[in-house]
Amino acid sequence: MSPCVTADMVRAMPEDGNRYEVVDGELLVSPAPRGWHQVLVGRLFRELSDYLDEHRVGFALFSPADISWSLVDLVQPDLFVVPLEDARGLEWEGMKRLLLVAEVLSPSTARADRLTKRRLYQRHQIPLYWIVDGDSRQVEIWTPEQDIPVVERHELRWQPDASVPALVLSLDRLFRPV
């Protein structure tokens, strides 16, 4: 059995271009992402931020971030939305209720995003988890109770509050060439 890694140990890791995370004491190390990954994160962030500026139900943030629910969990989601009241302090410790998490797959992160981190997000009842696959031009949509994702190839819909219209994002638009 390997030694248990803690969130504090991850926070002490060197700033060497890698992303360090820990889930259930397991260290996850990812190199700097590809350019396509960053394009997709940027496009998703812009869409979510514009929507949330108009409909003040949450606040979008992106990695690097220190989201932690325990001593042995610390993740840096590519993109996530927290309730507006949780974002106001701008302190990671206050951001535990995530309304949406999006991870953009990279070859080095696919297993952790689809298994390790997905299970963590489901355990913490994150209402919606998008796994964005830019190479396949599709998005896996997970909720806490699902064992199998819904795979979407046309559009993403997100309605965090019934009092506001849904965000509808065309995947053709998201995955358009640079």
Query: Between 90 and 163, where is the model more confident?
Result: 163
Q: Establish if 5 belongs to a structural domain.
A: no
The per-residue b/e assignment along 81-93, b for 16 or more CB within 10 angstroms, e otherwise, is bbbeebbeeeebe
Q: What are 116-145's pLDDT values in tens digits? A: 999 999 999 999 999 999 999 999 999 999
The pLDDT value given to residue 134? 95
The answer to whether residue 44 sits within a structural domain is yes
- Look at residue 25 and tell me if it is in a domain: no
Boundaries of domain holding 127: 33-174
* Cα dihedral 28→32→33→34 (10° resolution): -140
The type of residue at 123 is: R
Residue 160's pLDDT is 93
Residue 13 within a domain: no
**Percent of the chain's residues with pLDDT above 90:** 69
Asked if the structure places residue 108 within a domain, the reply is yes
- The pLDDT value given to residue 2: 56
The model's pTM: 0.89
Q: Is 103 a domain residue?
A: yes
The total number of structural domains that make up the chain: 1
The CATH number linked to 67 is 3.90.1570.10
Q: Is the pLDDT of residue 109 over 80?
A: yes
Does residue 69 fall inside a structural domain?
yes
Closest by CA to 39, choosing from 160, 135, 121, is 135
pLDDT band at 3 (very low <50, low <70, confident <90, very high): low
In a domain, 126, yes or no: yes
pLDDT of residue 42: 96
**Residue 16 confidence class, pLDDT cut points 50, 70, 90:** confident
